Amino acid sequence: MTNVSKDEQTFRMPRWLTGFLSLMTLMSGAGGIFLILEQGIDPISLMVAVVGFALAVGTLDAIRTRVTLHGEEIIIVRGFRRRRLFRGHIESVTWEKGTGIVLHLDDGMLVKLPDVGDSKARAASIRAWVERARRTE
């Protein structure tokens, strides 16, 4: 395990959940291929293949999604999109059940973070990260 400072944190979906999604993707893909090879292309085998493909895209998105606190910036990766925000531009961090974590920026914009596990605990960590910068100013 590496020594990581408090300003260097990465939040991801729990590994057990990405492992479960990966397993379901493999099973669906293998089932789709088996059905197509055994029965040819019919509505059932086609549906299983489509579900396998959709699961593969969703699993890849879930594996890539993360929120990283890195020095003076927060890096938000959602699928294949990446966004960087500087810590000084974040006015506040809020969390509400059903809504998740929202960053309130100094220009009035709101940025909703992707779901990366226990949102309430993650919001507290991000809030503390923002507050540490204010105390050092």
pTM of the model: 0.75
> In the Cβ-directed half-sphere of 28, how many Cα atoms lie within 13 Å?
21
Per-residue pLDDT of 96-106, as tens digits, reads 888 888 999 99
Q: Where in the chain are the domains?
A: 11-63, 70-136
CATH 1.20.1070 fits 70-136, yes or no: no
Please tell me the distance from the alpha carbon of residue 13 to that of residue 64, in angstroms, as a whole number.
9
Per-residue pLDDT of 30-61, as tens digits, reads 888 888 888 888 888 888 888 888 888 988 88
Report the b/e string of 5-19 with b at 16+ CB within 10 A.
eeeebebbbeeeebe
Please tell me whether residue 78 adopts helix, strand or coil conformation.
strand
Phi, psi of 5 (to 5 degrees): -70, 170
The first and second tokens of residue 57, run together, are 């895209």
